[in-house]
Structure 1
Amino acid sequence: MSPPRPGPAPPPAAAPSPSRHRGRPGAPAPPAGTLPPGDPDPKPRPTPSRRLFVSRIVGGTAAAVALGTVGAGTYGVLRGPRLKHVTVPLATLPRAAHGYRIAVVSDVHLGPILGRGHTQRIVDTINSAQPDLVAVVGDLVDGTVAELGHAAEPLAQLRARDGSYFVTGNHEYFSGAAQWVDHVRELGLRPLENARVEKAGFDLAGVNDVAGESYGQGPDFVRALGDRDRSRASVLLAHQPIVIEEAVEHGVDLQLSGHTHGGQLWPGNLVAGLANPTVEGLERYGDTQLYVSRGAGAWGPPVRVGAPSDITIVQLAAKRS
């Protein structure tokens, strides 16, 4: 019988790894996943820095300010425009017409958001001022008569001693200008389509918007102003300020315009400044003065920042006694 073969030798015992514990000899090793007392953490847990904390505070504050600004700008549009008063001296205005008051309203922009209630607020504001005349200087609507005729109906309630007048803006030509001219006439406003009427002490003229040129209905200054008596003061209703050069050529004393929205909100003010001679307010061009209203509504988002909506009461003043 053969002697039994020796089995495989057992593997050598693993040498104990050197302990990092620096306690007393024979002390038990610390539990797994913990560090011995006094040992530095090789991977310290990150903590938010002061810079990160400050950046989060600044970012949150900026977001809150932006949200509040947009909210206030939206509320301002939906609340309706406020009255603004401007006095404009005219060299040729007779003393009898001194103090004549024109309510200038532009850029109402009736549409899906700004509807009949918006029109009613505008009408009530104008009537509260008891003007001598109302001038609606374009961009009344952003839609067809079929869509928005009902929203415009409160215009029939406008009250002014010498009536209410209307000229087209560029948005009327996107919405069926001929139909809107007929509709506002039915509501009691008188459209001035390259036309002029005589008032006590001055001539009131109106020209179509330059957008009408694409439809064969552009501004015609000769027709509106060519044969008038230049010794009389004149007030021109024209939606866009850019026609001021033609107004100067035809001896207009005062042009009343809108279109710019006063910039409405940044960077619209920069764009409006590049495209228009005057963005808002009263400026002089030679012997002609130009007043630009910020408008009573808003185009696109119903938000205004830094350019609140307005209805302006322009009071004419005589320079001569």
Structure 2
Amino acid sequence: MFHFVVAIPCLIVIFRYLIPLKWPLWFKFLLSAVLLFVAQHHLLTLLAFGSMFSPEVPRVIVLAVNWIFGTMLFLAVLQIAVDLIVLMLMVFKRRRIAIPPVLRYSMGALALGVAAFAVSQAARVPAVKDIEVAIQGLPAEFDGYEIVQLTDLHISRLFEAPWVEAVVAQANALEPNLIVITGDLIDGDLDVRRTDVAPLQALSAPDGVYTIPGNHEYYFGYPQWIEHYQTLGMQVLANQHVAIENEGANLVLAGVTDFTAGRHAFPAPNVEEAIAGAPDDAPIIMLDHQPRNAAVAAAAGVDLQLSGHTHGGMIVGFDRLVARANNGFVSGFYDVQEMALYVNNGTGLWPGFALRLGKPSELTRITLRQG
């Protein structure tokens, strides 16, 4: 179904944009072939590499494919909009109206430019985003406590070692008390990503670096990756918690496995198990890659949940569809039964859809405040 859906904008561009242009037939045929190839690049990646989530091709090709793919999507939207306007004018004026070539060329130029900008926004090292969270019952000892949240790094041929090094340097420069990574650190097997993830070992915070699995960890050898994360100095919270102590006061940091874990024959997320035995009356921060089950954490007494997964919806407008697939959660803060949920836009994103418009990537510094 996915591969059929992404073919629709391609067909719109071919039949409603390319064919009416007065270009040589061979040239239109060539462009159509390129568009069909790019429209199905996820399927081709699956056939070539065994997974559509990790195209093992040079970074410049990943960028170029996303640029053409984005151009196709934006051009399809523009073409539909123009067709609707022309249709309404034809009904109103009761005569046939042709789309002038200059308008078609302008649409093409605009789509190319917007797609290039969208790819550049997706591939950049994110800017720091500062937020504050008020927590009822937060001990005074943790007022002003700083957490850096990274999520959805999707370390891959798009986000290689130099990008990871820049993200790590930026996170460390903030000098937070704690660093958390809420899943989807990688795209690819350990043997092809080992060098690219190595810079994560330099992440440093006084109270440690913690991570949880996202759905993509399960696509590429979950046990091997979890073990490797630990060798890089990250502590993995898989239905577990730790108590962070500061001058006799406690703050609980818990984490669960991903919503999809059970499909891969691994332990499903279990909030109750994750917080079992936690110090009484200590505020609880839950790390859960996907935000969709935030109500479960809220019912269990969690005070703050940090999630990712949605990439913020990536594109304004498209984010509404992403929200519907995640119980309405897509980007930013939500109040879930008196629990604060923060859905991070993502530090990186999946290289198969490397486009961002109005939903920027972020490296998030969270400051806790007494509520």
TMscore range, shorter length: 0.7 to 0.9
Unpaired runs of 5+ residues, structure 1, are 1-50
Unpaired runs of 5+ residues, structure 2, are 1-95
Q: Deviation string for 1:216-274 (max 9, x for gaps)?
A: 32112221113334511110011000120210111000000000001113664132111
Matched, 1:312 2:364: yes
Residue 337 of structure 2 is matched in structure 1 by 286
- The whole-number CA distance in structure 2 between the counterparts of 1:288 and 1:226 is 18
Matched, 1:137 2:182: yes
Residue 224 of structure 2 is matched in structure 1 by 179
Coordinate RMSD, CA, aligned: 1.8
- Tell me the CA shift for residue 53 of structure 1: 9.8
Residue 204 of structure 1 is matched in structure 2 by 253
Write out aligned runs for 1:69-148 (5 A): 69-148=114-193
Matched, 1:246 2:296: yes
- The whole-number CA distance in structure 2 between the counterparts of 1:65 and 1:98 is 48
- The whole-number CA distance in structure 2 between the counterparts of 1:103 and 1:255 is 14
Q: Which runs of 4+ in 1 moved over 6 A?
A: 51-54
Give the stretch that moved more between structures: 106-115 or 131-140.
Answer: 106-115
Q: Which amino acid aligns with 2:367?
A: Q
Q: Match of 2:340, SS?
A: strand
Bigger helix fraction = 2
- Tell me the CA shift for residue 124 of structure 1: 1.4
Q: Deviation string for 1:154-184 (max 9, x for gaps)?
A: 0011121111001000000011111111111
Q: Match of 1:103, SS?
A: strand
Q: Match of 1:71, SS?
A: helix
- The whole-number CA distance in structure 2 between the counterparts of 1:154 and 1:268 is 33
Q: Which amino acid aligns with 2:201?
A: A
- Tell me the CA shift for residue 64 of structure 1: 2.0
Q: Deviation string for 1:32-73 (max 9, x for gaps)?
A: xxxxxxxxxxxxxxxxxxx98983333333322221221112
Matched, 1:223 2:273: yes
- The whole-number CA distance in structure 2 between the counterparts of 1:283 and 1:137 is 17
Which of the residues 322, 325, 332 maps onto 1:272? 322
Residue 159 of structure 1 is matched in structure 2 by 204
Q: Which amino acid aligns with 1:143?
A: G
Is the Cα contact below 8 Å between 1:298 and 1:304 reproduced in 2?
no
Is the Cα contact below 8 Å between 1:202 and 1:233 reproduced in 2?
yes
